[in-house]
Structure 1
Amino acid sequence: MAESIKRIFLDPSRCIGCRSCVAACRECDTHKGESMIYIDYVERHNTVASSPTLCMHCEDPLAPCAQVCPAQAILVSPDGVVQSADETRCIYCENCGYACPFGVPKFHRAGHYMQKCNLCYDRTSQGKGPMCATVCPTQALFYGTYEEWLAAGRGQQGAKPVNTFYFGRQRVQTRNYVTLREEENELDLMALVEQADMGLHMDLPAATANQHADTWVDAETADIPQRKIPPEPWTPRQPLSPTPTPTPVPARSES
């Protein structure tokens, strides 16, 4: 059965670093002139390689940024799009920034609230493509279903979309995909970091990050509850009933 959900397929090998997506993202009505997408340059002193970074809209576990928000300022729509923080509820604790494995949340210093890619929900909810994918000249950002991605000829080029990532022992499955080689089924980012040389060849002491650290425990084993998608996340919140103002008691006059 064909899949009807449209996603972003990110292909770093096609990115030319033109920053068209960054400029277009600023035009999204919900971003107020600020871009929610980043262009990362890989080893800028050795190569011109670049790659766009945007919210991956994590599905399993569901939206770690929303899981750790104490004010429930980050909502998830029924189709799995993780929204940007509600400015009226965000308390600027930056928990979402620490929880996001991809480092996506951006903090508005003047307004004291978090912003991030919401998949241009004002457009995608109406059947239009997100601004970044709409203007990308090389289709490094492709928006559509898996069948539409195949119809564009990507499968014939030996490409394979992957949405499973490992950060050490933490597995994250996302709504959006990254295009890798055909033989790759998942992306272990920590393993890539360990393999990275960066051309330094320095004799450095062993890392101390694992010293005095507790053994990894899965969230289910530790009985940590996970936040579920509310049935009607866009239902307006009902304000609390105002406390009735007590009737002033007139002072007794002394005769």
Structure 2
Amino acid sequence: MIHIHYVERAASVQTTVQVCMHCEDPVCANVCPADAITKDDFGVVHTANTSRCIGCSNCVLACPFGVPKKEEKAELMMKCNMCYDRTSAGKKPMCATVCPSQALFYGTREEIEKLRPNSTPVNKFMFGEEQVNTKVNIMMPKGSTELRIHP
């Protein structure tokens, strides 16, 4: 459920990953007219409930991170749910388990700060004047407090 993007496919094999940031106030769930997208008590924003999803793509259009993808054949929204079947049983998400470079990490803020002492985990993003707080952190240069994203 992680989306892979090719940076410049014609000239390079470089890729970036796009994971759900599990927003504190998930706009994808807020714009869902069928109440198919939910956030649980652990802060995990789940993939749309297949029995409720009407395939309208509101969530796809609304997400500031561009994460949800609509599977056209199934007419359903699909996105990372932090491998809920694994994490609810005390295991790490599959992506963090198999990532050879450990670029994807699952653990506490304190653990990642110890592993990467020259970086700061950031989970506050500014889209213009709109602040989005997330469960997922990205690593920024030491001392950073937020990431400003300009359209």
TM-score normalised according to structure 1 size: 0.56
In the other structure, the counterpart of 1:234 is: none
SS in 2 for 1:144: coil
In structure 2, relative to structure 1, the CA distance for the partners of 1:163 and 1:46 (3 Å cut) is farther
Name the CA distance, whole Å, in 2 between partners of 1:49 and 1:178: 19
Say which of 87, 90, 102 aligns to 1:127: 90
Note if 1:71 corresponds to 2:34. Answer: yes
For residue 46 of structure 1, report the CA deviation from its aligned partner.
6.8
Map 1:53-72 → 2, pairs under 5 A: 53-59=18-24, 62-72=25-35
Name the CA distance, whole Å, in 2 between partners of 1:154 and 1:46: 31
RMSD between superposed Cα atoms in Å: 1.6
In the other structure, the counterpart of 2:104 is: 141
| Equivalent pairs, count | 151
In the other structure, the counterpart of 1:81 is: 44
In the other structure, the counterpart of 1:118 is: 81
In structure 2, relative to structure 1, the CA distance for the partners of 1:141 and 1:126 (3 Å cut) is same
For residue 42 of structure 1, report the CA deviation from its aligned partner.
3.3
SS in 2 for 1:176: strand
In the other structure, the counterpart of 1:51 is: 16
In structure 2, relative to structure 1, the CA distance for the partners of 1:183 and 1:121 (3 Å cut) is same
In the other structure, the counterpart of 2:116 is: 154
Name the CA distance, whole Å, in 2 between partners of 1:69 and 1:165: 22
Write the letter of the residue equivalent to 1:173. Answer: N
Name the CA distance, whole Å, in 2 between partners of 1:178 and 1:46: 27
For residue 38 of structure 1, report the CA deviation from its aligned partner.
1.7
For residue 147 of structure 1, report the CA deviation from its aligned partner.
1.9
For residue 37 of structure 1, report the CA deviation from its aligned partner.
0.7
For residue 44 of structure 1, report the CA deviation from its aligned partner.
5.1
In the other structure, the counterpart of 1:176 is: 136
Write the letter of the residue equivalent to 2:116. Answer: R
Write the letter of the residue equivalent to 1:188. Answer: R
Name the CA distance, whole Å, in 2 between partners of 1:50 and 1:188: 22
Name the CA distance, whole Å, in 2 between partners of 1:83 and 1:68: 14
In the other structure, the counterpart of 2:59 is: 96
For residue 97 of structure 1, report the CA deviation from its aligned partner.
0.7
In the other structure, the counterpart of 1:40 is: 5
CA distances 1:190-216 after superposition (whole Å, capped 9, x unpaired) = 0xx6xxxxxxxxxxxxxxxxxxxxxxx
* Structure 2: unaligned runs, 5 residues or longer: none
Runs of 4+ aligned residues of structure 1 deviating over 6 Å after TM superposition are none
In the other structure, the counterpart of 1:166 is: 126
In the other structure, the counterpart of 1:186 is: 146
* Structure 1: unaligned runs, 5 residues or longer: 1-35, 194-255
Identity %: 52
